């Protein structure tokens, strides 16, 4: 792969939580236009995709959690830049949110919004995210099952609603 292609690929997350069969997705505002997007960014040298997921989740959304590495979704996403529109491939990982903090690195630059998966298409900006969300929804049974497995392995005091 050429260096130019490596620089254009991004890694992102679909931050979510479950309650029973319901899934809620966390959106953040973009820095440039304030549209509702999913967190993503450039992979740093020596960083794995999963490390990038954790870093971007905390920097952009103030969340920590578990990337579900078995369910990556890669899609072209259009981004507005100073020189015009740029389309880049982004590999998104479903990201089970285990904690949301009130103070995070990009707090002054971004807002957060949780939406039920069924409502997400009304929140998401652009067709780019709609295709990602449709694929995420198609994986719903496996994502819920995997999320529940992770939650059941947490100490009782860390499990929400107890």
pLDDT digits (tens, 9 = 90+) for 81-109: 778 888 899 999 999 999 999 999 999 99
- Residue 5, pLDDT score: 43
- Residue 7, pLDDT score: 55
- pTM for the predicted model, two decimal places: 0.88
pLDDT greater than 90 at residue 40 = yes
Q: Which helix (H) or strand (E) holds 147?
A: helix 140-152
Residue 67 falls inside a structural domain: yes
Residue 158 falls inside a structural domain: no
- What is the average per-residue pLDDT within 54-68? 98
CB 35 within 8 A of CB 41: no
Residue 53 falls inside a structural domain: yes
For 55-92, the DSSP string reads HHIIIII-EEEEE-TT--EEEEEEEEETTEEEEEEEEE
pLDDT greater than 90 at residue 156 = no
Domains of the chain: total: 1
Residue 157 falls inside a structural domain: no
Residue 136 falls inside a structural domain: yes
- Residue 160, pLDDT score: 54
Question: Structure tokens of 130?
Answer: 């709609």
Residue 162 falls inside a structural domain: no
The domain in which residue 42 lies consists of 3-147
Helix, strand or coil, per DSSP, at residue 10? strand
pLDDT level of residue 32 (50, 70, 90 thresholds): confident
CATH number of the domain encompassing residue 75: 3.90.79.10
- Residue 128, pLDDT score: 76
Residue 160 falls inside a structural domain: no
pLDDT level of residue 162 (50, 70, 90 thresholds): very low
pLDDT greater than 70 at residue 2 = no
pLDDT, greater one: 1 or 95: 95
Query: CA-CA distance, 54 to 37, in Å (whole number)?
Result: 17
Residue 103 falls inside a structural domain: yes
């Amino acid at each position: 792969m050429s260096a130019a292609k490596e620089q254009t690929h991004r890694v992102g997350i679909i931050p979510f939580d479950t309650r029973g069969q319901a899934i809620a997705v966390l959106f953040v505002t973009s820095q440039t236009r304030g549209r509702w997007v999913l967190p993503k960014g450039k992979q740093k040298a020596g960083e794995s995709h999963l490390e990038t997921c954790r870093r971007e989740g905390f920097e952009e959304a103030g969340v920590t959690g578990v990337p579900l590495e078995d369910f990556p979704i890669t899609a072209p996403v259009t981004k507005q830049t100073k020189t015009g529109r740029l389309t880049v491939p982004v590999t998104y990982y479903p990201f089970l949110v285990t904690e949301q903090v009130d103070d995070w690195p990009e707090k002054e630059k971004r807002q957060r919004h949780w939406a039920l998966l069924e409502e997400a298409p009304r929140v998401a900006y652009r067709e780019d995210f709609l295709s990602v969300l449709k694929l995420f929804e198609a994986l719903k049974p496996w994502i819920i099952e995997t999320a529940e497995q992770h939650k059941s392995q947490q100490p009782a005091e860390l499990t929400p609603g107890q």
